């Protein structure tokens, strides 16, 4: 599914440069649920951004579903992101003047789907996250947990191969975090591949595999026994 | 290719950010409003100038004769110069290709009577071409024609005022009018939009007047229009050469200012031309200035908008928006705001001009207004201006890296 080898990335800081990723090797199979952990500055977000094609590596190989991701034009990157990837962010990143339904429909708009079909599909996904009755509400009229569920519905709308979550529970209280994790686990049960950046141990333990980063290298990569979030809900 | 969804996106964005859109629109509206009003006022001033010169042909030259003031080639000072028909022929022979219309004139004050009505008017004896020089409009009947001149017929063409004063409720055409004791048949009534004074005139054929009032071929003065293709400098030179030739012909000293005089409208035309040119330049400078200010204003606001929407654009890109789609959104939004706001400014400006027209007349501003052509032109310019104003911000927006945009919160 996802194959990364010898990935390097550095950022220029004044005259010198900061070496953030120092040769990352990572393979993720279909249906996996991986937590990427590490303290701030360990390079976990950079790694996720490169996987999300929001950023480009300096060297190394990145193959997504058999497709080498290298030297993409902006347009091509946009198309790939739309087709292969779904994003879930810590701060939800919904468009504040669009209602829940329109937010979920946005990736479908960029796929060139017809308006009617788009809305049906968006509504279907909203229903799936249990927010169909809130379809016409703006983000500011929804709670944090509801907003994150709208964001998840949006990430799912384009039916991506890989779901990337950047601290998906970072802005939520424990109760809501568990609800969201329960939901993400259900998605994984249905077969979605999920990659998640987090620094919370209990959230990481709800995945099936933990990759620990420190100073730009992988310290530890182990499969774990998944803790089900449902028991806390 | 009409993309309904794209427009929906744009309208949603404008609608959800009404204050912002209104503010940016206001700049443009105001710029166009100012431009329209300035342009209209300048047009009004120009109209005033044009009107001040009336509808008389503004390419006319009048040639007068007088007494000599200097002795020349053995001839005394104080000699009276009298034009005759042969001088009219001389001008035509010498300058035929530069003359558009020419007429000789004899003026008399006459007492005109019809039935019991009586009044005094100016009588002008003329050639038929005078109609074009004076821009008379025939309301009924006909003008003096060549046949009248050949046969020295006793016919008269009277002004509207003469008609109203003497004929009261009768039709003048075909009636006989008594001019200083001689009956003339009225063959036409004319109007002149320069007003009453120009309509208190009676025209008769030149030859008839010469025959009846002295049986000679004397001419009081000559009135001609020069070829309108000549510019004012050429026309001035033409006028000078007429004077010179006539002075030679009548053996008048070159430096004699009284014996042969001409009044050349080109003198005034040249001044008006320069004034108009100056005015046009000023209008253009001010107009472009305001327009540029408006464009810079909207460009500024669009840059601000892009900055404000950085995060949104980042989200869109993360969701698969191509750079092109980002550019379209910003660019079309800019064009739309500029065009609509500009058009509103234009309408308000035209409205203000319409409303203010009556009270402006006393300030020498007559019929201020903008032409349809200008309105269409301005609309096109607005669309182009909107595109220019939106281009830089749109380009900037398309270069936003989603990762940077999503980080800054």
Q: Both B173 and B109 in a single domain? A: yes
Band (B44; pLDDT cuts 50, 70, 90) = confident
| B4, B12, B319: residue with CB nearest A110 | B319
The edge-to-edge listing of strands for the beta sheet with A16-28 is: A16-28, A2-13, A59-64, A67-68
Q: How do residues B237-249 score in pLDDT, each as one tens digit?
A: 998 999 999 998 9
Q: Both B65 and B167 in a single domain? A: yes
**Stretch B360-387: mean pLDDT, rounded?**
73
H helices within B160-265, ranges in order? 160-167, 206-212, 232-249
Band (A85; pLDDT cuts 50, 70, 90) = very high
**Stretch B309-317: mean pLDDT, rounded?**
87
Q: Does A225 touch chain B (CB under 8 A)?
A: no
Residue A47, min C-alpha distance to chain B (Å): 12
Cα distance between residue B186 and residue A122, in whole Å: 91
Counted domains in chain B: 2
Set of chain B residues whose Cβ sits within 8 Å of the Cβ of A109 = 5, 9
Q: Both B20 and B117 in a single domain? A: no
Give the pLDDT score at B46.
75
Cα distance between residue A17 and residue B201, in whole Å: 98
| B314, B321, B403: residue with CB nearest A110 | B321
Q: Both B291 and B319 in a single domain? A: yes
CATH number 3.40.50.300 given to A30-56+70-232? yes
Dihedrals φ, ψ of A45, to 5°? -70, -40
Q: Both B197 and B221 in a single domain? A: yes
> What average pLDDT does the structure give for chain A?
91
Q: Both B280 and B259 in a single domain? A: no
| A49, A78, A91: residue with CB nearest B320 | A78
Q: Both B21 and B168 in a single domain? A: no
Q: What share of chain B is helix, strand, coil (3-state, %, to 5)?
A: 60, 20, 25
Set of chain B residues whose Cβ sits within 8 Å of the Cβ of A104 = none
Give the pLDDT score at B185.
93
pTM of the shown model: 0.66
Of B135, B268, B284, B124, the C-alpha closest to B205 is: B124
Q: Which domain holds residue B390?
A: 4-52+271-407
Q: Which residue has the higher pLDDT, A187 or B56?
A: A187
Name residue, tokens 């409303």: B355
Checking if the pLDDT of B23 tops 60, the result is yes
Beta bridge partners of B101: B225
> What average pLDDT does the structure give for chain B?
84
CB–CB contact B12 A154 (8 Å): no
Set of chain A residues whose Cβ sits within 8 Å of the Cβ of B320 = 78-79, 81-83, 107, 110-111, 158
Set of chain B residues whose Cβ sits within 8 Å of the Cβ of A43 = none
Which of B238, B264, B290 is the last residue in one of the domains?
B264
Q: What percent of chain B has pLDDT over 70?
A: 94
ipTM for the complex shown = 0.90
The long-range contacts involving A221-227, CB below 8 angstroms and separated by at least 24 positions, are A221/A26, A226/A33, A226/A185, A227/A202
Which of B237, B264, B291 is the last residue in one of the domains?
B264
What is the token pair recorded at B390?
A: 């939106």
Q: Both B155 and B137 in a single domain? A: yes
Of A158, A133, A152, the C-alpha closest to A93 is: A152
CB–CB contact A75 B312 (8 Å): no
Q: Both B118 and B243 in a single domain? A: yes
Whether residue B227 contacts residue B104, with contact meaning beta carbons closer than 8 Å, is answered with no
Among A117-121, B153-157, B215-219, the least confident range: B215-219
Q: How do residues A118-171 score in pLDDT, each as one tens digit?
A: 999 999 999 988 899 999 999 999 999 999 999 999 999 988 989 999 889 988
Checking if the pLDDT of B1 tops 70, the result is no
Residue boundaries of the structural domains of chain A: 30-56+70-232
Name residue, tokens 């058999």: A66
Checking if the pLDDT of B77 tops 90, the result is no
Distances in Å between the Cα of A222 and the Cα atoms of A27, A204, B161 are 12, 12, 113
Which of B264, B279, B309 is the last residue in one of the domains?
B264
- Report the chain B residue with the minimal C-alpha distance to residue A46: B403
H helices within A169-228, ranges in order? 174-189, 201-204
């Amino acid at each position: 599914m996802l194959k990364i080898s010898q990935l390097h990335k550095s950022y220029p800081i004044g005259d010198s440069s900061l070496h953030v990723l120092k040769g990352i090797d990572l393979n993720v199979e279909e249906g996996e649920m991986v937590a990427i952990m590490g303290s701030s500055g360990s390079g976990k977000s950079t790694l996720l951004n490169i996987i999300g094609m929001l950023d480009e590596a300096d060297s190394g190989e990145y193959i997504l579903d058999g497709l080498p991701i290298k030297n993409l034009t902006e347009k091509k990157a946009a198309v790939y992101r739309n087709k292969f990837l779904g994003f879930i962010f810590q701060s939800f990143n919904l468009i504040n003047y669009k209602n829940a339904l329109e937010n979920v429909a946005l990736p479908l708009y960029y796929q060139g789907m017809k308006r009617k079909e788009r809305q049906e599909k968006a509504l279907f996904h909203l229903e799936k996250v249990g927010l169909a009755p809130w379809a016409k509400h703006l983000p500011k009229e929804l709670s944090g947990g509801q907003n994150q569920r709208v964001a998840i519905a949006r990430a799912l709308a384009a039916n991506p191969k890989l779901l990337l979550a950047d601290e998906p529970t970072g802005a939520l209280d424990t109760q809501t975090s568990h609800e969201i994790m329960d939901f993400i686990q259900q998605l994984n049960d249905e077969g979605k591949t999920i990659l998640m950046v987090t620094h919370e141990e209990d959230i990481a333990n709800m995945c099936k595999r933990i990759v620990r980063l420190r100073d730009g290298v992988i310290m530890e990569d182990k499969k774990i026994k998944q803790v089900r979030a449902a028991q806390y809900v | 290719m009409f993309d309904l969804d794209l427009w929906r996106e744009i309208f949603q964005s404008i609608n959800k950010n009404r204050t912002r859109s209104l503010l940016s629109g206001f700049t443009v509206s105001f710029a166009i409003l100012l431009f329209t009003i300035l342009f209209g006022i300048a047009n009004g001033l120009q109209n005033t100038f044009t009107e001040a010169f009336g509808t008389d042909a503004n390419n006319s030259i009048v040639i007068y004769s007088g007494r000599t003031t200097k002795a020349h080639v053995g001839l005394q000072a104080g000699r009276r110069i009298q034009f005759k028909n042969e001088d009219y022929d001389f001008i035509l022979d010498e300058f035929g290709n530069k003359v558009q219309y020419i007429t000789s004139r004899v003026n008399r004050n006459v007492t005109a009577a019809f039935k019991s009505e009586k009044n005094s008017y100016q009588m002008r004896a003329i050639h038929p071409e005078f109609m074009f020089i004076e821009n008379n409009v025939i309301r009924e009947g006909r003008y003096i024609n060549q046949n009248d001149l050949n046969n020295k017929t006793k016919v008269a063409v009277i002004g509207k005022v003469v008609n109203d004063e003497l004929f009261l409720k009768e039709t003048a055409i075909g009636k006989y009018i008594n001019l200083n004791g001689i009956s003339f048949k009225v063959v036409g009534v004319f109007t002149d939009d320069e007003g009453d004074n120009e309509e208190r005139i009676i025209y008769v054929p030149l030859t008839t007047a010469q025959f009846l009032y002295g049986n000679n071929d004397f001419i009081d003065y000559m009135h001609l229009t020069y070829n309108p293709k000549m510019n004012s400098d050429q026309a001035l030179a033409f006028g000078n050469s007429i004077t010179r030739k006539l002075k030679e012909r009548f053996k008048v000293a070159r430096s004699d200012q009284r014996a042969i005089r001409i009044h050349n409208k080109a003198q005034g035309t040249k001044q008006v031309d320069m004034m108009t040119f100056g005015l046009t330049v000023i209008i253009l400078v001010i107009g472009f200035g305001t327009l540029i200010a408006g464009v810079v204003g909207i460009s500024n606001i669009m840059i601000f908008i892009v900055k404000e929407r950085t995060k949104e654009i980042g989200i869109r890109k993360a969701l698969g928006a191509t750079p092109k789609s980002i550019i379209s959104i910003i660019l079309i939004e800019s064009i739309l705001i500029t065009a609509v706001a500009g058009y509103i400014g234009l309408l308000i400006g035209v409205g203000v001009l319409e409303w203010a027209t009556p009270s402006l007349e006393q300030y020498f501003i007559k019929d201020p207004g903008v032409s349809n052509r200008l309105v269409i032109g301005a609309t096109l310019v607005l669309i182009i201006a909107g595109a220019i104003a939106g281009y830089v911000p749109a380009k900037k927006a398309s270069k936003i890296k989603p990762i940077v945009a999503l980080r800054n919160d």
